[in-house]
Each structure stands twice: as structure tokens, then as C-alpha cells.
Amino acid sequence: MTDLLAVEGLCAGYGEARVILNLDLKLGEGRSLAVLGRNGAGKTTLINSLIGVTTRHAGRIFFAGTNLAEMAPHRRARAGLGWVPQERNIFRSLSVEENLSAVSAPGAWTLERVYSLFPRLKERRRNGGGQLSGGEQQMLAIARALIRSPKLILLDEPFEGLAPVIVHDLIAVCRKLADEGQTIVLVEQNLAATLGLAHRAYLLSNGHIVHEGPASEIKADPEFLQKHLGV
């Protein structure tokens, strides 16, 4: 299987502070990867480093055969990286449809396809981003990433702070994307959902990868989960 993403010897952080230390990671096209770890392990910093909003001190990031390490974030997005940050970053003053139209790019994901995945957004397409509930804003954040037809989508805590019914709906969306062959990197504290969605998982501790393996095996090992993640 071809590696869509290959990270080699990455050291990155914020300013002079190094949070990610000599990290190696690979992800095949059409596969889903869970990044696990306790709070402060470096999970969000890894996501931010892939999209290019941290300070890179060393290492290379190959995406579809191209080294992204020197690329600005907007060029990485054009290359096919989709990003859903914890903050969502929707345009609160624009309508749902304007949020989508403002960032859309030619590709497999059209406005109609996005609305078929998120019927609630179609119902609220004329409402402003600031008028949406937290769950609807998260749907919009994911939709904004998809409408650029990314080769890889980075999801940072997509279920955090949402009502269980919304989490259930978003898990179903992520599972549908994975089943359709969308390549995904997922950081999420909901381990049952995360490990149920992903093919493989990497465990981060103090900026290092300390374990990797099939997500199904990690999910089925309560001793491992308790030792490394406290659950």
C-alpha cells in the first residue's frame, strides 16, 4: 500500500519549545489513524505540525510524495490537507452556505454532496455560523474541510463537549467517510469511538511515539488502556 503521509524525524513545537521529538509516522492512502495519548502528550501539536502552524526544528513531512516541511499552511491545504481544528474556525458572520462557498474547490465534494452528508446544514443553510449550536458548528467545520475535496483530513477533538446524540451522528459521519476510503488522522479523547473508527493507532507520550499497532488490538486490551491512558 502506498503511504500517503510519511513523517520522518519530526521535531516541532512553539518558538524554541520542542513538543514533538524525533517522531516517525506513516499512513496509507484510504486508511484511518488514531493518535492517542494523555493530555499534554503532543497530539494537537502533531496535528498543528502537519498543517504547518508550529515551529519545525527538524524532520520531513512527505505527503503524496511531496515534502511539505517548507510549505506554508495555505499551500498544504491546496496540496490536499484538510484540517478541522479544536476551535472550528468557522466564519460566524457568514451563513452556512457562504461558509462553504468561500472555501470550496473543484473536486469530488460538491455542495450537494456535503448537504447529503449533513442534512441539518442544508436545513440551516441560510443561518449565520454564530446562530448554530455547538454540534452544528462542528458539522460545518467538517463540511468546510470536505468541500475542498482533501486527500487527507485531520480531525482534532471533533466530539469534544458535544451532546451524546450529536457525537453519535458525527461518529456515523466519520465511519461513512472511512468506509468510502477517505484518509483520516483522528485525535479524540473518546477512545471507544476513536479506536472503533481507526485502522491503526499511535500512542504519544512526552512528544514521542511509544507504541503503534492495529486499533482493534489496542481497543481489546484493557490492561494497555489502563496503563497508558488511564481508562
- Can you tell me which residue has the cell 467545520? 141
Q: What is the pLDDT of residues 146-185, one digit of tens each?
A: 999 999 999 999 999 999 999 999 999 999 999 999 999 9
Assess contact for 36 and 194: CB atoms under 8 A. Answer: yes
Count the neighbouring beta carbons within 10 Å of the beta carbon of residue 149: 16
Whole-prediction pTM: 0.94
Q: What is the pLDDT of residues 119-147, one digit of tens each?
A: 999 999 999 999 999 999 999 999 999 99
Instruction: Tell how far CA 204 is from the center of its chain.
Output: 16
Cα 218 to Cα 215: distance, rounded to the nearest angstrom: 5
State the first-to-last Cα distance of the chain, in angstroms, to the nearest integer: 33
Burial class (CB in 10 A: 0-12, 13-18, 19+), 122: middle
Q: What residues have CB less than 8 Å from 172, skipping those under 6 apart?
A: none
